[in-house]
Amino acid sequence: MLRDVEARVIRNTRLSRDYNVIALAAPEIAEATQPGQFVMVKSGRGGDPLLRRPFSVFEVLRSNNRVEGLTLLSKRVGVTTKILYDAVEGDTISCLGPLGRPFDLVDPPTEAWMVAGGVGLAPFATLGDALLAHGVKTTLFYGARTGGELFYLDWFTSRGIRLVLATEDGSIGDKARITIPLDRELQEADGEVVIYACGPEPMLEAVAHVAAKHKRTSQVSVERTMGCGMGGCYSCVIQVRSEAGSERTRPAHYVRSCIAGPVFKGEDLVWD
């Protein structure tokens, strides 16, 4: 059920000069969230900044089997992400969700390969957990500019998620875009593999192409500017060829990525 929660900041961990993980006391939302869904966050008083901003739910926080809240992995790029970066325990952040179409989970023996670029890591903590709970063998391909911007590596490995890393400066893993090792490993993979991706759009496009080249399906989570997150404003549109979930193809047309997405099949999207 959709909820708007004035969530207290439980803690705020700065991971680097730009990245932070903020924990919010919004258990009702956390409980209802499926992997790939997002919340619309409003920080700051008054009309400036005015609009909410979308953030993937990063972790669902549990203690003693009770859901305590959720975290967001945020990268500082502007006014709201600065407020999230600077927030301290006890501040409140208004949090609306859960919103959007989640990832479709797969079943074994199909493997899941998650591909994250930068802050695109955000949806893969909850997705990874859900896949593991399904018994799905899971890999995380994770790329960033530099090794210092690869976070939560232990979190994933300790759960048994295999890591494949790449950095543009080569400080950790391949000195390459993450699609290079992805392509290489797909070349060699023989079982069923579904690819999940989140990151900058050029990366998503490359992932979708690599997946298609190897005859694998991909589910990509896109980031468009969102005014409302609920289908009200038509700001967040993206061109698709066919309706999500339908086999009928139509000429390229705009759909609202907040309710038809943010997760789309890679092959449905029209890359421009």
Which positions lie near ligand FES, rule CB under 6 A? Answer: 226-229, 231-236, 256, 258
The one segment of 78-86, 125-133, 172-180, 184-192 that binds ligand FAD by CB under 6 A: 78-86
Other C-beta atoms closer than 10 Å to the C-beta of 30 total 26
Q: Is 247 in the site for its own copies (CB under 8 A)?
A: no
**Is 101 a binder of ligand FAD (CB under 6 A)?**
no
Name every residue whose Cβ is closer than 8 Å to that of residue 34 and which is 6 or more positions away in sequence: 98, 102, 103, 126, 130
Distance CA(182)–CA(141), nearest Å, equals 7
| Euclidean distance between CA atoms 152 and 160, whole angstroms | 13
Restricting to residues 1-30, which ones interact with another protein according to CB under 8 A? 1-2, 4
Please choose which of ligand FAD, another protein, ligand FES, none residue 122 contacts, taking the beta carbon within 5 to 8 angstroms, the exact cut-off set by kind: ligand FAD
Residues 196-235, one symbol each (x = binds ligand FAD by CB under 6 A, - = not), give: ---------------------------xx-x---------
Say whether residue 262 binds ligand FAD (CB under 6 A): yes
Q: Residue 24 or 73: which CB sits closer to ligand FAD?
A: 73
Residue 79, interface with its own copies (CB under 8 A)? yes
45 interface partner picked from another protein, ligand FES, its own copies, none, CB below 5 to 8 A per type? its own copies
| Strand, helix or coil for residue 95 | strand
Q: Say how far apart CA 42 and CA 53 lie, in whole Å.
A: 7
Sole window of 75-83, 166-174, 202-210, 238-246 interacting with ligand FAD (rule: CB under 6 A): 75-83
Say which residue the tokens 């392509």 belong to. 183
Count of residues touching its own copies (by CB under 8 A): 8
Choice from 108, 160, 231, 245 touching another protein (CB under 8 A): 231
By CB under 8 A, residue 251 contacts its own copies:
no
The 263-265 sheet, strands edge to edge: 174-175, 162-167, 138-144, 111-117, 193-198, 218-221, 263-265
- With CB under 5 to 8 Å by kind, the binding choice for 235 among its own copies, ligand FAD, ligand FES, none is ligand FES
CB atoms under 10 Å from CB of 17, counted, come to 10
Which CB sits closer to ligand FES, 41 or 112?
Answer: 41
Residues 6+ positions from 87 with CB-CB distance below 8 Å: 9, 12, 22, 43, 93
**Is it true that the peptide bond before 35 is cis, omega within 30 degrees of 0?**
no
Nearer to ligand FAD, 184 or 224 (CB): 224
Structure-token match 């500082």, residue found: 76
Residue from 53, 101, 177, 256 touching ligand FAD (CB under 6 A): that is 53
Instruction: Report which of 79, 126, 117, 76 is spatially closest to residue 98, judged by C-alpha positions.
Output: 126
> Shortest gap between Cβ of 225 and ligand FES (angstroms)?
8
Residues that bind its own copies (CB under 8 A): 44-49, 79, 83
